[in-house]
Chains A and B, each alone.
Chain A
Amino acid sequence: MRRAAAIPRPAEQRDTGLDDAELRERLAYTWGRRPGIIGWLSTVDHKEIGRRYIITAFVFLALGGLLAAIIRLQLARPESHVVGPDLYNQIFTTHGSNMMFLFAVPVMQAFSLYLVPLMVGTRNIAFGRLGAYSYWMFLAGGVFLWVSFILDIGPDVGWFAYVPLSGPQYGIGKRPDVWAQMITFTEVASMAAAVQTIVTVFKHRAPGMKLTEMPLFVWAMLVTAFMIIFAMPAVMVASTSLILDRLVGTHFFNPAEGGSALLFQHLFWFFGHPEVYIIFIPGTGMVSAIIETFARRPVFGHIAVIISLVATGMLAFGLWVHHMFATGLPEIGASFFTIMSMTIAIPSGLQMFCWLVTLFTGTPVIRTPLLFVFGFFFIFVLGGMTGIMVASIPIDLQVHDTFFVVAHFHYVLIGGAVFPLIGATYYWFPKITGRMMNERLGVWNFWLAFIGFNVAFFPMHILGILGMPRRVYTYQHDVGWDGLNLTSSIGAFILATSFGLFFFNMWRSARGGAPAGRNPWGAGTLEWLAESPPLPHNFDHIPVVTHATPLWAERESLPIVSGISVNRREIVVTTLIEARPEVRESSPDSSIWPLIAAIATTIAFIASIFSPWAVVWGGALIGVALIGWFWPKTIREDLE
């Protein structure tokens, strides 16, 4: 909070007539955070929040990976006793929930928070305080799940928590409530970040950056944000109804009183299938960004890729029933979802062809990020092929809920999102830290990940065909799955080594990597115009954009916007389609209230799995925090 900024104020200082050094210093002061621990807790800078988000999500990746290692240790041999069934069920549920809700979606949104404002040429993300709130909620949800797990209250009903197993009668104790409420935490966080991305992309683009000429990564994040806003409410309805069934005895999912166990599945998968694309589409955005830079030419068919992203985003909402083919649906209904699931191969194919043409007509420079893109091609395309197989009802009736499906979605998610993500980390690490990641370790990292992944997950296709159901804590010797499981476990440990190497490389490079400079890869998009790491205000001058790859189009220097205030946080708002400048607007100052509001929300959420009254008094608590958050401050703009 900046009391000093209230009236009476010194004359407005604008960025005209200041020399570069002074301008930079003043802007950095205006946009920087206040010193001390309170300053650290109250920052609303998208870069700091984005960085915390990324680091936290990687911590959850490592923790989830440890659980995966335990799973593979347990399944390496038949009838093994590394862990018992009770702990195993908690482990695989926490692994799945953690990877989906605490790693994959948040890490993508974290990159969005960090990069989108830089790529569209603005100084902060829209609603910066909401970003801080989003991060604290995400952190609280993650800590909630993991503390519960350590306390032996980890959810044990699978990451899709089907009723009646997770319902009041069979979901014993508070374990399923932990799952359901963890969802609420992370969905609040995701929705908040999605709203920020959409508004930033629509209204805060640098003047001249037409919607159609936006970087493809930004487009991917925009589509993802819209999908989050449409998909997440469904799962919040599902998880909240589940808590109501369990806590106050409603009958949403109770067939004996007119509810339906299948209703839960529909609600869950109406979210759950788009969720896969919420994770995958940002991955394609990263692939587009990396290919563009390393092929040294703009992505072929920019508009076609945009159309394919939007089409994928829409079709993703028409696929959910293909998770439910074995529930006994009528043929016509089920067949519709086969057609939709097959159709989504077309936009995905379109993107793939555009990338290949880009690489073919460009002059690729092969570095670690591009290696991971090649890994993405190999793995994701295979996952897409098995995706077409499970879209077919007859084949799905055999392989549904088996290790074939486990293989399929790891190919799609690790291939489609994690490989691009690691590539993207190598790619943007210099921007975020100012230092390059080690290339040699990067190559090792890639090959270990690539080999380890395929050795770990390819045999699972065959295990599924050989009849191994998923979510079994052990298996018997006489069904013939021993060898393939052992192979898979060996692969899993190679994969784990590659992640160890990845984290080690990050840690070492962050301390002693080669200094990067502004644009180490010679890339064309705006984030490479900023310092590495960017100063608090991102750009000394807001650029004016004339081309989709502005840094390539303008060799010497970009045209700039001038007349922006330097002693208060001011940004340029532009029109939706053409990005013509509309008004100058203030951007929120640092505030501790998002943290306080997040603490209040956390208390209300956790208490409400024990007593429905927590919603009442917790609501009041949140209300108080929000009053503090939105307490009117006299801003010059409001007086005008």
Chain B
Amino acid sequence: MLRPQRPVPTLIAIAASLLTLAACKREVRDIHPDPVGAETPITTAMVPFSPGGAPSVTARTKKGEDYEKNAYQLAQGKTLFTKMNCNGCHSHGGGGMGPALTDDKWIYGDSIENIVATIREGRPNGMPSFRGKITDDQIWQIAAYVRSMGGKVLSAAAPSRNDSMSNLPSESRRGSDFEQHGGPTPKKD
């Protein structure tokens, strides 16, 4: 109250506070994405077994963890999911021509890194490769959003309902046991 008003120290103070509190990443908006072409390297295992008895590993990436927790990236992913016409095959995650995305059955792995690999590389039987079509960040955004469709991300960051008709609860209200079947279901034993 008794401080005279000087904007510059305050700016510095705000910036400093932001830095010290950078742990709170749920709301940060990184609005300057990397250009198309730059790729975050990932190591993925598509099946839960591997030769030689060593455990198969999908290496967790920091980027994946960050994106799953960040409201802005998830919302961008949701927009892109619609705009890139993912609904054409996956139909709001419920599955159609392509597999459902809201259940627990994953042909090529369910971690965000696996999903990124799937979007990036494309998969047989119809899934196109988006490498070079959209930026790497956008692939991660979509992958994070795909995780949220089955209720697998932080609910405080997951998107709420759309301003349109829908027969599914919003992503933020799907528990991790949420399932919506449809489309070709992989047989996995």
Residues of A within 8 A of B (CB): 55, 58-59, 62, 65-66, 69-70, 73, 82-86, 150-153, 164, 167-170, 172-175, 245-249, 254-257, 496-497, 499-500, 503-504, 506-507, 610
Contacts and interface: CB of A to CB of B under 8 A. Distances in A.
B20 to A, nearest CB: 10
A220 B26 CA distance: 45
Contacts of B31: 84-86
B24 A503 contact: no
Contacts of A153: 24, 26-27
A83 B12 CA distance: 12
Nearest to B170: A249
Nearest to B79: A169
A153 B5 CA distance: 24
Contacts of B3: 62, 500, 503
B169 interface: yes
Contacts of A66: 5, 7, 10
B29 A86 contact: yes
Interface stretch (B47-55, B97-105, B137-145, B158-166): B158-166
Across the A-B interface, give the 7 residue pairs with the lowest CB-CB distance, nearest first: A168-B160, A173-B71, A500-B4, A69-B7, A249-B161, A496-B5, A172-B75
Given A62-B1, A168-B160, A168-B170, 13 more contacts: A66-B7, A69-B6, A85-B31, A169-B159, A173-B26, A175-B27, A247-B172, A249-B160, A254-B163, A256-B163, A256-B165, A497-B5, A500-B3
A70 B163 contact: no
A248 B169 CA distance: 9
A248 B173 contact: yes
Contacts of A496: 5
Contacts of A85: 31
B161 A152 contact: no
B149 interface: no
B163 A173 contact: no
Instruction: Classify the interface of chain B: helix, strand, loop or mixed.
Output: loop
Contacts of A70: 7, 10-11
A256 B162 CA distance: 9
Given A86-B31, A175-B27, A168 B4 contact: no
* Chief secondary structure at chain A's binding surface: helix
Contacts of A256: 163-165
Contacts of A150: 14, 17-18, 21
A168 B162 contact: yes
A11 B53 CA distance: 91
15 contacts: A69-B7, A69-B10, A73-B7, A86-B29, A86-B31, A151-B21, A151-B27, A168-B159, A170-B163, A172-B29, A173-B75, A175-B27, A247-B160, A254-B161, A256-B164
A58 B1 contact: yes
B142 to A, nearest CB: 16
A610 B156 contact: yes
A606 to B, nearest CB: 12
A367 B4 CA distance: 24
A449 to B, nearest CB: 13
Contacts of B7: 66, 69-70, 73
A496 B71 CA distance: 36
B28 interface: yes
B38 interface: no
B1 A174 contact: no
Query: In the complex, which of the residues A150, A152, A246, A248 has the most CB atoms of chain B within 10 Å of its own CB atom?
Result: A152
B81 interface: no
Nearest to A85: B31
A504 B170 contact: no
Nearest to A82: B11
Which of A167, A169, A175 has the most C-beta atoms of chain B within 10 angstroms of its own C-beta? Answer: A169
The listed residue with most A CB atoms (<10 A of its CB), out of B1, B11, B155, B165, is: B1
Nearest to B20: A150
B106 interface: no
A504 B2 contact: yes
Contacts of B157: 173
A504 B18 contact: no
B72 A172 contact: yes
Contacts of A84: 31
A15 B175 CA distance: 67
Contacts of A500: 3-5
Nearest to B5: A496
A153 B14 CA distance: 13
A522 B173 CA distance: 65
B18 to A, nearest CB: 6
Interface in B104-118: none
Contacts of B173: 248-249
Nearest to B72: A172
A168 B29 contact: no
A167 B24 contact: no
B33 to A, nearest CB: 14
A249 B169 contact: yes
A152 B28 contact: yes
Given A150-B21, A151-B21, A151-B27, A167 B163 contact: yes
Given A70-B7, A153-B27, A507 B2 contact: yes
A189 B155 CA distance: 30
B27 A174 contact: yes
Contacts of A497: 4-5
Contacts of B156: 174, 610
A82 B14 CA distance: 13
A62 B163 contact: no
B171 to A, nearest CB: 10
Contacts of A73: 7
Contact of A172 (B71, B155, B162): B71
B102 to A, nearest CB: 16
A69 B160 contact: no
Contacts of B11: 70, 82-83
A164 B155 CA distance: 21
Nearest to A55: B1
A164 B163 contact: yes
Given A70-B11, A169-B163, A174-B71, A152 B18 contact: yes
A170 B163 CA distance: 9
Nearest to A173: B71
A172 B75 CA distance: 7
A247 to B, nearest CB: 7
Nearest to B18: A152
Given A173-B71, A173-B72, A249-B173, A499 B5 contact: yes
Contacts of A174: 26-27, 71, 156
Contacts of A167: 163
Given A173-B71, A249-B169, A257-B165, A503 B27 contact: no
A256 B163 CA distance: 6
B163 A503 contact: no
A494 to B, nearest CB: 11
Nearest to B2: A507
